[in-house]
Amino acid sequence: MQLSKKLNDFVKKIIFLKSKILIISVFFFYSTPAYSFISDAKYALLVDYETNQILYEKNSRKKIYPASMSKLMTLYVLFDYIENNIISLDDKIFISENAWRKGGAISDSSTMFAEVSSYISVENIIRGIVIHSGNDACIAISEAISGSEEIFSNEMNFYAKKLGMIDTNYTNSTGLHDSNHFSTPYDMTLLAKSLIRDFPNFYHYFSEKEFTWNGIFQPNRNNLLGSDLSVDGLKTGKTSESGYSMIISSNKDNIRLIGIVGGLPSRDNRTIEMRKLINYGQRNFMKYNLFNKNDVLDKVDIWEGKKSKLNILTSENISLLLNIRTKRNLNAKYSFNQPIIAPIKKGQIIGELTVYNDEKEIVNSSLISGENIERSNFFGRILQKIRYLIN
C-alpha cells in the first residue's frame, strides 16, 4: 500500500546509546480534518483485539449493570466444559420449572420458549442463549452444570478472576438485575476477547441471524450482524436499570475491533451509537508495522565473553493502529540490566521494549539475544578488564 511506503519514509529512528532510548517519530500530513467523535452513550470503549490498544474510551472503568451481556460469561463457562469433554453438544439438558418460570414464561423477559420438563440439546441451548438471549436456557444450563444458579454464579466469578476481570461480580447466569451483579466496560471487553481467543470453534454461533424453537421464530437481537460494519458477534443487553447496551466484534480488512456502548434510552439509540463507534475505528485508523521480529535494535557490550558485542533483537512483530488523518507522535524506549555477562544463549531475554503514545504505554515486548556467546577463559576475562581500565 502507498500509505505503508509513506510511513516508512516518515519514520525516523534515532538511537542514543548512552541512555538506551529509541525514539520513533511518526508524522502524517493530511489536509482533511480529523474525524471527530464523541459518544452520547453513558459509557463506550473501542479496542483493537490483536494489540489491546484503546482507540476510544468514555467511562471505561465505570461500574455498570451488564444485563444480558452477562450471558457471555455463562457461555464462556459452558464452552470450557465442552472443550474439556465434561459435556458435549449432543447432551440433553432438562428444563426445570424454575428455569421455565424464572426464565420468562410468566414475564416479558428474554426467552427461547423452552417447555417445562422438556429436554434440549446443549447445541440448541447455546443458540437459545446467543440468538434468543434466553434466560430459561441460561438457568437450565447453570442447573445442569452446577446444580443451581447460585452455585453456577460462583463458577462465573472464578472464571472472571482468571481472565483478569477484577471489577466484576456475578450473582446469576442471566443478567437479570441485582445490585451485586456488576462489571465495567473494560472487563466486558476482556471477556469478549477471551471468548473469541479461547473458543474459536464455537464463535460461529454468534453470527447466526435467526433461530426457531418450539415453532417460534426469533431473529438475533444483535441487529448489526451482517451490516456494512462487518459485525460477526457478540451480545446485546437491556434492563430498566442498565438501559440499552451492546458489545460487538467487527472484523474488517484483517482488523478486529471490540466495541461496547451502554446506558442508552432505546434500541435505536444503541444502534446509532455503536455504528458511530465502529465507523470511527474503521475510518480513522490503519494498521502499521513498526517492528519486525528479529529486528536489530542495538549492538551492546558483553562482559567475560569470547565476543565483546551482542546484537539485541525484537522478539515479535509489533503493529499498531494509527490515526491516519491527524499527526501522531510515538516514542519507544528499551532497557536492559548492565553489565550483560557471558555465557549468553541465542533467544535469551536481554531487556524490554516499550512503545508509548505520548506518555501512555501501549506496547511492551521482550528483547532477545541474537546469538550464542560463550564465556571467555580466565586470561581473556583479565585482558578485557585491563582494556576497560585503560580506556
| pLDDT score of 4 | 40
- 3-state DSSP call for residue 369? strand
d(CA 272, CA 258): 16
Instruction: Identify the band that residue 105 occupies on the pLDDT scale cut at 50, 70 and 90.
Output: very low
Domain layout of the chain by residue ranges? 2-29+292-390, 43-286
Residue 221 has pLDDT above 80, yes or no: yes
| pLDDT score of 8 | 39
What would the pLDDT profile of 132-190 be if each residue is shown by its tens digit?
999 999 999 999 999 999 999 999 999 999 999 999 999 999 999 999 999 999 999 99
| pLDDT score of 320 | 85
Strand ranges (DSSP E) for 143-295? Answer: 210-213, 216-219, 231-239, 243-252, 255-264, 285-291
**All three cell numbers of 245:** 447496551
**All three cell numbers of 391:** 580506556
> Taking residues 300-318, what's their average pLDDT?
87
Instruction: Identify the band that residue 2 occupies on the pLDDT scale cut at 50, 70 and 90.
Output: very low
The pairing of strands 21-25 and 12-16 is antiparallel
Residue 355 has pLDDT above 50, yes or no: yes
Instruction: Identify the band that residue 374 occupies on the pLDDT scale cut at 50, 70 and 90.
Output: confident
Residue-level length of the chain: 391
254-268, 317-331, 357-371: least confidently modelled range: 317-331
Residue 278 has pLDDT above 70, yes or no: yes
> Taking residues 226-230, what's their average pLDDT?
90
| pLDDT score of 245 | 97
Q: Do 43-286 and 2-29+292-390 have the same topology in CATH?
A: no
> Taking residues 270-274, what's their average pLDDT?
97
Does 2-29+292-390 carry CATH code 2.60.410.10?
yes
Q: Which residue has the higher pLDDT, 216 or 102?
A: 216
162 part of the active site = no
> Taking residues 278-299, what's their average pLDDT?
90
Strand ranges (DSSP E) for the chain? Answer: 12-16, 21-25, 43-48, 54-58, 92-94, 119-121, 210-213, 216-219, 231-239, 243-252, 255-264, 285-291, 296-301, 309-314, 318-323, 330-336, 349-357, 360-369
71 part of the active site = yes
**Residue 1 CB burial class (10 angstroms; 0-12, 13-18, ≥19):** exposed
**Most confident residue range from 3-17, 22-36, 287-301:** 287-301
Mean pLDDT (the chain, rounded): 86
39 part of the active site = no
Of the candidates 60, 70, 71, 249, the residue annotated as catalytic is 71
> Taking residues 50-70, what's their average pLDDT?
95
Of the candidates 68, 183, 230, 369, the residue annotated as catalytic is 68
| pLDDT score of 194 | 98
Return the CATH superfamily for domain 43-286: DD-peptidase/beta-lactamase superfamily (3.40.710.10)
Residue 217 has pLDDT above 60, yes or no: yes
| pLDDT score of 384 | 62
| pLDDT score of 133 | 94
d(CA 320, CA 216): 45
Of the candidates 96, 109, 110, 133, the residue annotated as catalytic is 133
Strand ranges (DSSP E) for 17-105? Answer: 21-25, 43-48, 54-58, 92-94
Residue 109 has pLDDT above 80, yes or no: no
| pLDDT score of 335 | 86
| pLDDT score of 35 | 55
7-21, 81-95, 193-207, 323-337: least confidently modelled range: 7-21
Beta carbons within 10 angstroms of residue 242's beta carbon = 21
Distances (CA, A) of 157 to 71, 214, 245: 13, 32, 21
Share of the chain above pLDDT 90, in %: 64
Residue 119 has pLDDT above 70, yes or no: yes
Claim: this prediction has a pTM higher than 0.85: no
Q: Which residue has the higher pLDDT, 281 or 8?
A: 281
| pLDDT score of 126 | 98
What would the pLDDT profile of 14-59 be if each residue is shown by its tens digit?
222 233 444 444 433 333 334 568 999 999 999 999 988 899 999 9
d(CA 290, CA 51): 13
| pLDDT score of 189 | 98
Those residues with Cβ within 8 angstroms of residue 293's Cβ, 6 or more apart along the chain or in another chain: 313, 314, 315, 316, 317
Instruction: Identify the band that residue 9 occupies on the pLDDT scale cut at 50, 70 and 90.
Output: very low
> Taking residues 75-91, what's their average pLDDT?
97
